[in-house]
Amino acid sequence: MNSNIMNYIFSFLGEMWNLCTEMAPYLLLGMFVSGLISVFIDSSIIYRHIGPKNLSSILKSTLFGIPLPLCSCGVIPVAATLRESGASKGSTVSFLVSTPQTGVDSIFLTYGMLGPIFALFRPLAALFSGVFSGMVINKIDDDNHNHVSNENPEKKENQSFNQRIINGMRYGFISLPSDILVPFFQGLVVAAAIALIIPPDFIASHFASNIYIQFLMMLIISIPIYVCATASIPIAVALMAKGVSPGAAFVFLMAGPATNASSIAVIKNILGKKTLFLYLSLIAFSAILFGLLLDIFLSIFPSTIPKLVHQHDHGGIFGISMTILFLLVMVNAYLQKFLSSENNSVEKNIDFDDSIEKIEMFVYGMTCGHCKESVENVVNSFDGIENSSVDLASGKVVISGGNIDEVAIRKKIIARGFTVK
């Protein structure tokens, strides 16, 4: 009995190691490129180009969103800021739909684990679904939001080239890994469990006769759960290894990162029930459409069907070295996140002067560094703020200064898609 348990544990860890070995080089490359994007693309450009209610704004918001490494939760405060700054509903929805489906890191990893066809289909599907969703929203849904914020989005300070590189690498190899750490390893665990528990070709033998059932299963599974674009890849690989069609797996790759239960609730508050219904319907339609197109394409060109991770041999010094380096990056990101949380909750509070006005509030819905940064930007945009502290783990926000407009701060944080108590 004990020996069987140990065998399962070692097999499970072996599956996780194999997946990490396959993913590590592409994730590290994706982190590097994401870091460069974070410091060399000025976010103020985005705000200036997606306000009008037209096709050009929708296309720009979609193209801006595709390379950004934001998950379905991290994209919410950014989208809420765009909306608050005057973006149309169509542009906001196109950004919400396209951004979490892909990212530079996930595109590299998709190429490594699923091949060039999947890597090409993902950004194309994100582009189509973003533009199509935005056009439908602008056509069907009334948009009475005429407010254009007078607040200019905070631009990056003038920095030397070397300093930008350093900041980019800090983002790519510390901030970004800390944001995807938990969902990534959750996806890794799910993928390893699928590989061990589900018998080979189980899904193919039971559901192969009706591809639409497979598609429906993937939609039901993917829409409510939280899985980022990167974490969805090993799960899709494991599902395909068990007999799920490539098209059905692609449905999961599209719908899973684009939605989750938390983001659905927030989108309802930001854009309304009607827009939320259209948002979910358009994601489901686009996912099924591209899943069918992928299956048709692969049936015409069967030589392009991806070889799965279990068929690859990525051992050797290079694979092991990249895996160890990747795991060290993730461990360091966790430690940095833990130490940062400790500093926020202890050290920063020491700087508050008890002789000046201080308010405390709790902000719920922050899930990553982007969320925290959004709240910090809101707080620090008000006059009279001398010190502020935002703790991501607990949601506690402490603000000190003079003549603090607490009501206005709360309203602006809520407008970004968070809950304040």
pLDDT one-digit tens code per residue, 377-415: 888 888 888 888 888 778 889 898 888 888 899 988 887
Between the CA of residue 85 and those of 63, 79, 253, 381, 408, what are the distances in Å? Answer: 19, 10, 31, 14, 16
Nearest residue to 370 via CA among 78, 61, 27, 66: 78
The pTM score is 0.69
Answer for the pair 94, 55: CB distance below 8 angstroms, yes or no.
no
- Assign 190 a pLDDT band (cuts: 50, 70, 90): confident
Tokens linked to 298: 């692969």
pLDDT of residue 255: 92
pLDDT of residue 150: 40
pLDDT of residue 133: 92
- Assign 295 a pLDDT band (cuts: 50, 70, 90): very high
pLDDT of residue 154: 45
Least confident of 3-12, 167-176, 203-212, 350-359: 350-359
- Residue with the bigger pLDDT between 43 and 38: it is 38
Mean pLDDT calculated for residue range 307-318? 59
Give the start-to-end residue ranges of the domains of the chain.
Answer: 2-331, 351-420
- Assign 9 a pLDDT band (cuts: 50, 70, 90): confident
Q: What is the DSSP letter of 403?
A: S
Q: Residue type for 378, please?
A: V
Mean pLDDT calculated for residue range 199-224? 77
User: Is it the case that residue 419 has pLDDT exceeding 80?
Assistant: yes
Average confidence score pLDDT of the chain: 79
Helix, strand or coil for residue 396? strand
pLDDT tens track for 328-352: 998 988 887 766 655 555 444 445 5
User: Is it the case that residue 324 has pLDDT exceeding 70?
Assistant: yes
Answer for the pair 222, 250: CB distance below 8 angstroms, yes or no.
no
pLDDT tens track for 223-276: 877 677 888 888 888 888 888 889 999 999 999 888 876 677 767 777 778 888
Tokens linked to 170: 């800090």
pLDDT of residue 130: 94
Contacts for 354-357: CB closer than 8 Å, 24+ residues apart: 356/386, 356/400, 356/401, 356/402, 357/400, 357/401, 357/402, 357/403, 357/404
Which of 18-27, 37-46, 151-160, 315-324 is predicted most confidently? 315-324
Fold annotation for 351-420: Alpha-Beta Plaits (3.30.70)
Give every CB contact of residue 133 below 8 A, 6+ residues apart in sequence: 90, 93, 94, 97, 278, 279, 282, 283, 286
Rounded Cα distance, 312 and 307, in Å? 7
Give every CB contact of residue 221 below 8 A, 6+ residues apart in sequence: 252, 256
